[in-house]
Every structure is written in structure tokens, then in C-alpha cells.
Amino acid sequence: MSTIDLSSATWRKSSRSNGQASCVEVADLDSGHRAVRDSKNPTGPALIVTPTQWVSFTTAVRTGELG
């Protein structure tokens, strides 16, 4: 499996994070992929998801399916 260089990724927190420390951060990558990481551990591992996986995840969050 190839390694994706995230050193120049621009990370952002959800606008709903309310400035809390326990958040996830997301970065947009090439081809619509997303990287997701724990904001408390910015040098730790990141989960890379495909565009389809990202849409499925965000839809499930919006509709309360994961709540």
C-alpha cells in the first residue's frame, strides 16, 4: 500500500466543534479523497477515505443514522 504525503495538507475542524479539543480534522486531497485525523494527535495516523465513502459518512451524520 502506498503512503500519502499529508505534510502540505490543509486541515480544518467542523464549524460545529465549538472550539472543543475533542474534534476530528479533515483535509481535502487529490481526486476528492479526504484525510481524517484526531485533532488531539495531529502527528498521529490519518484515515484516508474515497469520495464515495465520504459522501456516505457525511450523509449518515446529517440524517442522524450514526447518532
pLDDT tens per residue across span 38-57: 988 988 999 999 999 999 99
Q: What is the pLDDT of residue 40?
A: 87
Q: What is the pLDDT of residue 64?
A: 92
Query: What is the CB neighbour count within 10 angstroms for residue 26?
Result: 21
R_g over Cα of the chain: 12
Continuous segment of H or E residues that includes residue 57 = helix 51-62
Mean pLDDT by 10 residues, the chain (67 residues): 82 76 86 91 92 94 86
Q: What is the pTM of this model?
A: 0.80
Tell which residue, 31, 30, 24, 20, has the closest CA to residue 46.
Answer: 24
d(CA 32, CA 54): 9
Domain range summary for the chain, segments of one domain joined by +: 14-62
Q: What is the pLDDT of residue 28?
A: 96
